[in-house]
Amino acid sequence: MREINVAEITENIKEMCIEANHILTQDMDLAMKTAVDAEKAPLGRQILCQLQDNLKIAKEDMIPICQDTGMAVVFMEIGQDVHFTGGILEDAVNEGVRKGYVEGYLRKSVVKDPIIRENTKDNTPAIIHYEIVPGDKVKITVAPKGFGSENMSRVFMLKPADGIDGVKDAILTAVKEAGPNACPPMVIGVGIGGTFEKCALMAKKALTRPVNERSQIPYIKELEEEMLEKINKTGIGPGGLGGTTTALAVNINTYPTHIAGLPVGINICCHVNRHAVRVV
Amino acid sequence: MERHINAPMNIEESKTLRAGDYVYITGTIYTARDAAHKRMYESLEKGEALPLEIKQNIIYYMGPSPAREGRPIGSAGPTTASRMDKYTPALLDLGLIGMIGKGKRSEAVKEAIVRNGAVYFAAVGGAGALLSKAIKSSEVIAYDDLGTEAIRRLEVDNFPVIVVIDSEGNNLYETAIADYLDYNEKAIDK
């Protein structure tokens, strides 16, 4: 049994909220650089160059990459040999988000009630996903999610007979409908299988996988590559203003499902695909 | 075509802008997004005055992140325009000359743009740090209680945007995408 004081969780989450909103992960940063040379449209290249300038200014002047600093999605993979002390874990996570967004000059974008819509003024509560795993460590992933792209995400409850072609159609449909709204070049997280909520959660988690890392399952790896190529032929391009770079990656996760179903969750992310990962 | 315009802007100038033009805006513009639009719309329904002059002005769909000390504003990029579609035709009919946002607009908004000789610009989504550099000052003029969604008066200097829908109803999102649809095959054919 290892004891971890929840104050340590708070401090890490605070720093991770600030870090994720100012600096992209190395894989995303590289993908954005590579896209400049690959893009065929002159206006598309110009936009990708502006996004390079934007990333540089964000890092050097500590101005958030995007003004939508997101709703804080936090994945907590907790080793089963960990015992938390010093307070309630959920409160500690939210306190980290509160400190990060207030002290880090990040935008407060959360409303207390979806209909009454009064701002909570500290960007809490976070969306927290807990997972119990072997070991005595805690892996924290903070993934602030902007809603321009979140609003364009979809869940399709396909039929088994729809098969892989149905999955491909679903992904292309979501991307085409998203178009300029989702701030392309996008990253596409996909969850295939499970249940209604499981496919959406897999899609969200797929966005935190490095964009240069493909699935271990051979046919899924092929599907990821094929869909990226198809998406980049839609013509949507950077900013939706035409071009050959509509997505940087398609990350797909799968899970067993029911004999009667084929759920597909598609979580669309903009080019500011943010996350910070730490192991405590 | 590259253009430099001043804001506010009159209808004669607006009508010279064409979908695809790269435009630098200098002058005064106003921010308003979801909650401010809802409130303005409710004021109009009640016959009350709006907190800003709509005629000849440009509204930027934007809610900034907080400014650090010594800076006029935080990160300041565009938000998705379609969420304002419900409220937009009424504002265009009052003389709103331009909107800056990102993403598609409804048919009703396009018709109101054409009817009023207005223009819809896109700024690059997710470039909030870069775009903040073109904003020289920012002052909340109404709905302070809405926080980031308050109405702000911005002084901008060469703020970079692209004309997406012009006063003739041309839509860059539709034409530009068609140009690069199945790009590789087309290249091979040529």
CA distance A162 to chain B (A): 25
Residue B187: pLDDT band (50, 70, 90) is low
* pLDDT beyond 90 at B186: no
* pLDDT beyond 70 at B52: yes
Token digits of residue A186? 């996008």
A121 CB neighbour count, 10 Å cutoff: 13
Question: Which residues in chain B have Cβ-Cβ distances shorter than 8 Å to A271?
Answer: 126
The chain-wide mean pLDDT, for chain B, equals 95
Instruction: Give domain limits for chain A.
Output: 2-20+65-145, 148-273
pLDDT of residue B190: 41
pLDDT of residue B182: 87
Instruction: Encode pLDDT of A173-199 as tens digits.
Output: 999 999 999 999 999 999 999 999 999
Q: Which of B180, B181, B186, B190 is the mutation pick for testing A, counting most A CBs within 10 A?
A: B180
**A239:B102 CB<8 A:** yes
Nearest by CB: A179 against B65, B104, B128 = B104
Nearest by CB: B148 against A107, A183, A242 = A107
The answer to whether the CB of A68 falls within 8 A of the CB of A145 is no
CA distance B6 to chain A (A): 22
Could you give the number of structural domains in chain B? 1
Rounded percentage of chain B residues whose pLDDT exceeds 70: 96
Place of tokens 């048919």: B107
pLDDT of residue B183: 82
The nearest alpha carbon in chain A to B162 belongs to: A241
Q: How many angstroms separate the CA atoms of A243 and A141, rounded?
A: 32
CA distance A101 to chain B (A): 10
* pTM of the predicted model over 0.80: yes
* pLDDT beyond 70 at B189: no
What average pLDDT does range B102-128 have in this prediction? 97
Nearest by CB: A180 against B67, B173, B178 = B173
Nearest by CB: B126 against A43, A53, A272 = A272
**B183:A66 CB<8 A:** no
Secondary structure (DSSP) of chain A:
-EEEEHHHHHHHHHHHHHHHHH---HHHHHHHHHHHHH---HHHHHHHHHHHHHHHHHHHHT--SSS---EEEEEEEEETTEEEESS-HHHHHHHHHHHHHHHTT-----BSSTTT--B-SS-PPPEEEEEEESSS-EEEEEEEE-HHHHTT-EEEEE-GGGHHHHHHHHHHHHHHHHGGGG-SSEEEEEEEEE-HHHHHHHHHHHTTS-TT---SSHHHHHHHHHHHHHHTTSS--GGGSS-S-SEEEEEEEEEEE-TT-EEEEEEEE-S----EEEE-
What average pLDDT does range B51-78 have in this prediction? 97
CA distance A52 to chain B (A): 9
| Domain coverage including residue B51 | 2-189
* Regions of chain A where pLDDT drops below 70: none
Residue B184: pLDDT band (50, 70, 90) is low
Residue B153: pLDDT band (50, 70, 90) is very high
